[in-house]
Amino acid sequence: MANTKILIVGAHGAMGGHSLLKLYGNGNLSVVILQSEMEAFLKEKQMTEDKWFPSDTTTIPKDAFFVGREPSSSKEVGVFTPETLPAGFFKENGIVVVASKIFHYDSVVDTIQPALNRDTIIFVLVNGLKPELTLERKCREKGIENTLIRAVVMGGTHHTIEEDSCRYHSGIAKFVIGNWNMEFNESYKSKMEKVAGLYPDDTFLVEPRYGNEYRSPCFDKVLANLVNPISAFTGCVTFEYVKHTITRKIITRCFNQGIAVGLAIGLPLADYDAIIRGKLEMYEKAGKAAKAHLPSMGQDALRALLNRTVLHHENEHIGVALVKEGREAKAPYDASFVDSFNRILTEVTEHYNVLYRQDKEAAAHFLIGLMMRNRYSLGLDPHNRPLYEQFGGLEEIESHITLDRAKLKSITAVDEAPIVFRENLEEMMDLFLNKGEKAQHPKGEKDDGK
């Protein structure tokens, strides 16, 4: 597989960078980077720190990247933008690795369409229930008939900038590859094996599965990601979900309702206790491995407010999709608690984006203020100090927010959580959106967290 042409779309993100490091050395590796991200991407060498495969010490030096042309050796990486990627890039068979978020799929399809050969495999790295069907639909609408293979990412990763290097801290045990709706056949098997063969066994594990065998790990990862929507409006890191009593109870309730949906659609999830224990242990390991691992939707929310950009999230294919699966099942289930957080996240996103169009600074203060209020209500330090190192500017923006603690409610029981979160959201809406006047930034004394 050393000469298979590979193109990574979204290599500047955490999953894209992880894939770049794992695939480096294949001999014909290129990436597509947005022009706006090019300078930052080329500025640092890429390094891996892998908790599951510590012997993997791959480093890609800065001088390995060549803009505007394909690599001439296994030590080089070609770098293109959507505008400079050549039509007919895949003259023979190859693999496109899509490491972009779901909400970028329209632009991804537009970028890769002119480059594809009819036999190019599209390999998708994304969480959720059936997101590959969304990409497949968008491809078919544009006349792209190529085979899609999806990975369930068993674990997580994030990156930090250290002097002149970008270090990827990986806690990913393996990829389980397949599709939710794809039964076994020889042609599909050969394509799965081609994808799996890209990754050396001593540095990463890729496990092909088919049909119903694939559904179980896919759903298992969805259960693990039920923490994700809550992370987006609390800023909680995974370690806090394990070690803090009330957050642990909240997430355990979410797990229980997620398992109920899985049982309703016929998945073998009978041992509730073992499943929940495994998820909490996974969070604990992630927290230890990454110092302060923030789930991906929390990362998206923080980056949106810190970079003053629109907020997008992937919950349509995680919490929302889980509730939808339950509704469509012909069996009893209860996912009302999970659904309450889905709805809150939807409202938070809508209000943030409305405010963003009026005043970007106010939108940033709105969202960070909401996170701080929710953290205080949970009994956590309102200031998310563990994340200061990873998210430059977070400490400064939190210093602008004053909490009137006398008006904030504490969450003492699990059932109170969605109620209090919603009350905190309404308070922030009153402060920023509901007065019928230009949003005002909160002012006052710096909250020292005492």
Distances (CA, A) of 334 to 38, 258, 342: 46, 8, 14
Report the pLDDT value the prediction gives residue 435, as an integer from 0 to 100.
Answer: 55
Q: Tell me, what's the pLDDT at 440?
A: 42
* pTM score: 0.82
DSSP string of 314-340, one letter each residue: -GGGTHHHHHHHHHHSSS----HHHHH
Which residues belong to CATH 3.40.50.720 in the chain?
Answer: 5-209
State residue 426's pLDDT score. Answer: 94
How confident is the model at residue 44, as a pLDDT?
Answer: 82
115 neighbors 139 (Cβ within 8 angstroms) = no
Largest CA distance in the chain: 67
Tokens of 51: 């908790």
Nearest to 158 by CA among 40, 289, 55, 318: 289
Q: Could you tell me the mean pLDDT of each successive run of 10 residues in the chain, 450 residues long?
A: 82 88 89 88 86 88 91 92 92 90 88 92 89 90 92 81 81 86 82 89 87 84 91 93 93 94 88 88 76 87 94 91 92 93 96 95 96 96 91 92 88 96 95 58 40
Q: What is the reported pLDDT for 166?
A: 85
As beta bridge partners, residue 124 has 98, 150
Q: State residue 2's pLDDT score.
A: 52
- DSSP assignments along 337-357, one per residue: HHHHHHHHHHHHHHHHHHHHH
pLDDT at position 52 is 86
Tell me the torsion sign for CA atoms 10, 12, 13, 15.
positive
User: What's the confidence (pLDDT) of residue 38?
Assistant: 87
Which overall architecture, per CATH, does domain 5-209 show? 3-Layer(aba) Sandwich (3.40)
Tokens 């779309």 belong to 9
91 vs 361: CA distance, rounded Å: 47
